[in-house]
Amino acid sequence: MEDLPPDQLSHPSKRPRRLLLGLFHGVPTTRKSGFDLPSGPDHIVLYQKNIEAVCGSEAEVREQIRRTVIHELGHYFGMDENQLKDV
C-alpha cells in the first residue's frame, strides 16, 4: 500500500483523467524465461487514497481492493487491458 502514485505526488494540483488504483511491478509470467537474470520480486502496489476517493463506504473499499488485486494479478499472468475487460 502507498498513499498515491508517484506522478500524483509530484504534481498534486494536476488530477489525472482516471485515478490509478493499483499497479503490477514485475515481468508477466508469459514473458519470463529460465535464462533471465533475477530482477527482484514481482509485486502489486495499491494506492489507498485513490481507492478511498472512488468509494463511498468501507464495504465498497473492500470490494474495490478485491477487484484491483484480481485485475493486477491478471497483468501478472500476462493479460492486457482488453483481455481483463472480458474477465
- The answer to whether position 1 is within a domain reads no
- The answer to whether position 18 is within a domain reads yes
- The answer to whether position 69 is within a domain reads yes
Mean pLDDT of the chain: 89
Looking at residue 22, which CATH number applies to its domain? 3.30.2010.20
Q: Please, what is the end-to-end C-alpha distance for the chain in angstroms?
A: 24
Q: Is 25 exposed, middle or buried (0-12, 13-18, 19+ CB in 10 A)?
A: middle
Question: Residues 33-55: pLDDT tens digits?
Answer: 888 787 789 999 999 999 999 99
Question: Residues 12-32: pLDDT tens digits?
Answer: 556 656 899 999 999 998 988
Domains identified in the chain, total number: 1
- The answer to whether position 61 is within a domain reads yes
